[in-house]
Amino acid sequence: MAESNKKKGRVLAIDPGAKRVGLAVSDPLGMTGQGIETFEMGKGKDLLDHLGELVERYKIEKVVVGLPLSMQGKDIEGSVRSRALAARIGERFGLEVVLMDERLTSLEAERVLRSGDRRFERGDIDRLSAVLLLQSHLDERPGR
């Protein structure tokens, strides 16, 4: 089967936070990202166990983890958390894991949500941040 005709696995994007983790997944062709949920930390379920379920359900082949940086591009407290999460995902699932600068994704997500007519919750921002992160990654790939 030609490489271009081979069905590829999906990409999972993670916008990690201390309290909530926004999650988004690409469509099977890797063209668009859709928000799937916001995972609440400390609600009894382990994040890596939950990610394992998503990896299986969506046939994930790559994970994009948001890397929060200061406006000067330097690591901040959340950077350490993101790097550790990325390492644990790579070790546990054997998947390609990419860290991606997530500066301003939460601000952009909040701006988009505020421009609509409906009320939104903090979890909506986390989920949309993951979508924006994923879409940026998908758009940056060669051949796009």
Confidence of residue 126 (pLDDT cuts 50, 70, 90): confident
Burial class for 47, CB neighbours closer than 10 Å (0-12, 13-18, 19+) = middle
Contact 11, 137 (CB under 8 A): yes
**Within the chain, where are the H helices?**
47-58, 77-93, 105-114, 122-140
**pLDDT, tens digit (0-9, with 9 covering 90-100), for 20-54:** 999 999 999 999 999 999 999 988 889 999 999 99
**All domains of the chain, ordered by start, with CATH?**
3-140 (3.30.420.140)
- DSSP class of residue 36 equals E
Amino acid 2: pLDDT: 41
Distances (CA, A) of 73 to 64, 70, 105: 18, 5, 14
Amino acid 79: pLDDT: 92
**pLDDT, tens digit (0-9, with 9 covering 90-100), for 50-80:** 999 999 999 999 999 999 888 888 888 889 9
The model's pTM is 0.85
- Go through the chain and tell me how many residues it has: 144
How many other CB atoms are found less than 10 A from the CB of residue 82? Answer: 23
Is the pLDDT confidence value at 87 over 80? yes
Amino acid 101: pLDDT: 87
